[in-house]
Every structure is written in structure tokens, then in C-alpha cells.
Structure 1
Amino acid sequence: RQNTDLAKKLDTLSRGISVIAIVIIAVLFVISLFIISNTIKLTVYSRRLEISIMKSVGATNSFVQLPFVVEGVILGIVSGVISLGAVWGIYELAVSRLGDVFSSIGLVPLEFKNYALIMLGVFVAIGILSGVGGSLITMRKYLNKEGSEISAI
């Protein structure tokens, strides 16, 4: 028995969901860059005296940026792990709620734990990329604008 209409509808639905997912991921990536950038700005502001002292004794910009980049990496790793936990929870909830629908059309849900390690790697990599990117952008702006001269509190 052929269900070409059903197959076409499922294919269209799958493509639509993929496009929506890519758009959501892009928007969330930009939001994460913004949040990390603002977090680093607050940290830079609270450590501006230390940065000024470091610059006055001859520290290079990369030496000043390094602790903030490490902080961005740590934020990225933590956010990747939290993201995996959230996705896992939502997936298990969806499978438990929609299990009857899946079984009625003859689909068997995938085991999440088979893909968890790969997803963790991807989430952590994206988190590190956004953390380092947000840190470097913020620090570069600060060092070019205010960090090049000694500023008193």
C-alpha cells in the first residue's frame, strides 16, 4: 500500500521544521553572543583598575584578554552541558506524551542516549565558540577605547 500523499506531507513538514530549527538556532546564537558579551562587559568594568595597572606595567592586549577568554570558555562549556540537559528533558517529555501517536503511525522513537555524546560535543563546541567570540569582541572594544590609558576609579 502506497501513501505518497502522506509521504509528501511528512517530507514538507520535515523540511519546514528544519528551516524553523535553523532560524531558531541562529537567533539563539546571536542572543548568546549578546549575553556573553554583556557578562564580560560587567566583568571588565569591575576589573578596570586591574586592567589599567596591567597595561601601565606593559602587559600586552593578548595577556589582558586571556583571563576573559578563559571565562568565556568556561561559560561556553557550562552552557553546552545545560543545553544538552534541557534538550534531553524536552525530548523525553515529548516522547512520553506523543508515544501513542508514534506507535499509531508505526514509528519508533530514537534512544536519546545513543546521540547524547555527539550532541554534547556539538553543544560544548558551539558554547566555546560563542564564549570566546563574545569575550574577544568585548575585550577588543574595551582595550581600543578605554583600556589603552590608565583610568582612575
Structure 2
Amino acid sequence: MKARTIRRHMKESLRNLARNGWMTFASISAVTVTLLLVGVFFVIMMNLNKVATDIEEDVSIRVHIDIAATKEDQDALKGQIEKLPEVESVVFSAKEEELDNLISSLGEEGEAFKLFEQDNPLYDVYVVKTKKPEQLETAAKKIEEFDFTSKVRYGQDDVEKLFSFIKTSRNVGLVLIIGLLFTAMFLISNTIKITIVARRKEIEIMRLVGATNSFIRWPFFLEGLMLGVLGSIIPITIISLIYSYSYDYISSKLQGHFIHLLEFNPFMFQVGGLLVLIGAFIGIWGSVMSVRKFLKI
């Protein structure tokens, strides 16, 4: 297609959008409201997924080493653990470090445990990370059988409930996002169809004077694209402002914790780009399908 023809279609599309002001406003409003819902829900689900991932990555196996084990025995036990196919890393934590962590985690109540610094009753520990969170139980059962393993702790009941909740949340979130996208496509495309139906006579006149199908479709194609892009601007702006404030507020509350929200940059730019693409796709799809099928051009 020649550049002159493209410019002509662009001018015609802009002229039609201005000429059909109320229908243009209705279409952009439909895109705006729907993409706002999609964007908000997407931001929430992606951050919930990030929190779930952080929790999964923080889960580990704590292997209490037998008090009677010598340095050679501890090294042998570490070698056995590292050879397990499920294991990603093994980190040694001396009983002195374990006591310090216990005291600091309890705050003022932990001061009483300083009495045990001279006669520490805790165990040396190996902190074991698995390659996949779901492999915790399998690895823990194998480690329990090794010599010089006193106890193995990984919060069995809590971990199983956590993984079940995370899996369910992700599946539900995915279904809801897909459902919301299909709802958005239905609402927006139907609004655009109404716009095109209102211009049926205009299309019929173009056909009578010999305009080809592609010549008629192009202005509607570009109008759908513009409606989708224009309708995505407000949702992107609102979501960005709300997320910027929420990120600063929640991050200040989560300082010192292993859980973090997705950083504003690049996350919001990715969300913005996604909403523009969704808006443009739905606008184009609604226009093309309406012209091709509804008006049977």
C-alpha cells in the first residue's frame, strides 16, 4: 500500500472519530473501564505470584547434626546431602550462630537465652535448599536416613498447606485473568460493532461508488487501533499512580522481610505495554470482525 493511501486512511479515521463523537466516547469509555479492571487484577495477581515465589524460595530443610559427630563426620554428612539430586545448596550454621539468631528473633524476650551462651544446648545445623520447593519432603526423608543426622525439620504440615494454597491461588488467578480478558474482548468489540452499525449507510454508499473491500476496511481497522490505544492511556495512568504510592507504602512496612513487591520499574512499564497491546488488539479485532461478519462485506 502506498504511503499516500495510508495517510488518506489515517485522516479519514481521525475525521470519523471526531464526526461520531458520542460513539467514539462510548467506545473509548468501554475500553478504559475494562482495561482498568484487567490492569488492576493483573497487577494484584503478579504481586501475589511474586510473594508466593519469595515464600517458596525461603523454604528450606534444617538438618540438626548429631552432637557426637566429629568434624570429619559432619563433612561426610554434608557430602552425602550434596550428592542428592534434589539438593541445590548446603550451608553450615554453627550452634553459636543458631543461638544468636534465636536471641535476635525473640527481641527482648530473647535476652533470657543469653544465659545459655556458656553451655549452648543447640545443635550445629545444615540449611539445605532444594532445586524445587516440591522436592523438600523427598529430600528430607532421604536425609533422615543418613548417619549423624539427629533431626530434620522443614515444617511438613505447614509446607504442604502452603504449596497447596499457592498452587490453587495461581490456578484461580490464571482462570480469572483469562475470563476477564474474554469479557473485555466481548464488551469492547460489541461497543465497536454498535459504532459500525450506526455507519451502515456510509459503508453502503462506499460500496455503491466502487470502493473495494480492503479500501473500506482500512479506516475501520485504524479506528479500532486508535480506540484501543486511546482507551488504554487512562488505565495506565491511574494504575501507575496507585501502584507508585502503594509500592512506597508497603515496601516501607516490609523492610527487613524476605517478601518484596515487584519494583515499579520495569514492572509498570511492562504492564503499560501489555495494556496498550491488549487495547490495540481488541480494538482491531472488534472492528475487523464487525465489518467482515456483521456487515458481510
* Bin of the TM-score, shorter chain as denominator length: 0.7 to 0.9
Residue deviations 1:107-141 (CA, integer Å, cap 9, x gap): 23332133222222222112211111111111112
Contact kept in structure 2, 1:36 and 1:135, CA below 8 Å: no
Q: Cα offset for 1:105?
A: 4.0
Q: Cα offset for 1:11?
A: 4.6
Q: Cα offset for 1:33?
A: 1.7
| Superposition pairs of residues 51-90 of structure 1, within 5 angstroms | 51-90=203-242
Which SS does the other structure have where 2:279 is aligned? helix
Contact kept in structure 2, 1:68 and 1:135, CA below 8 Å: yes
Name which of structure 1's ranges 116-125 and 53-62 shifts more when overlaid on structure 2: 116-125
Which SS does the other structure have where 2:230 is aligned? helix
**Aligned match of 1:22:** 174
Give the total of aligned pairs.
144
- What is the one-letter code of the residue matched to 1:44? I
Larger helix percent: 1
**Aligned match of 2:280:** 128
The structure with the larger Rg is 2
Which SS does the other structure have where 2:295 is aligned? helix
Identical pairs, percent = 33
**Aligned match of 1:150:** none
Q: Cα offset for 1:47?
A: 1.2
| Distance of aligned partners of 1:111 and 1:31 in 2 relative to their CA distance in 1, 3 Å threshold | same
Which SS does the other structure have where 1:115 is aligned? helix
Name which of structure 1's ranges 16-25 and 33-42 shifts more when overlaid on structure 2: 16-25
Name which of structure 1's ranges 52-61 and 117-126 shifts more when overlaid on structure 2: 117-126
Which SS does the other structure have where 2:226 is aligned? helix
Q: TM-score, normalised by structure 1?
A: 0.72
Q: Cα offset for 1:87?
A: 3.6
Larger relative contact order (CA 8 Å, sep ≥ 6): 1
| Runs of 4+ with >6 A deviation | none
- What is the one-letter code of the residue matched to 1:115? F
CA distance in 1, matches of 2:164, 2:244: 25
Residue deviations 1:71-111 (CA, integer Å, cap 9, x gap): 211122133333333443554465436853x3474323332
Contact kept in structure 1, 2:193 and 2:286, CA below 8 Å: no
Larger strand percent: 2
Q: Cα offset for 1:53?
A: 0.4
**Aligned match of 1:33:** 185
Contact kept in structure 2, 1:36 and 1:72, CA below 8 Å: no
- What is the one-letter code of the residue matched to 2:176? I
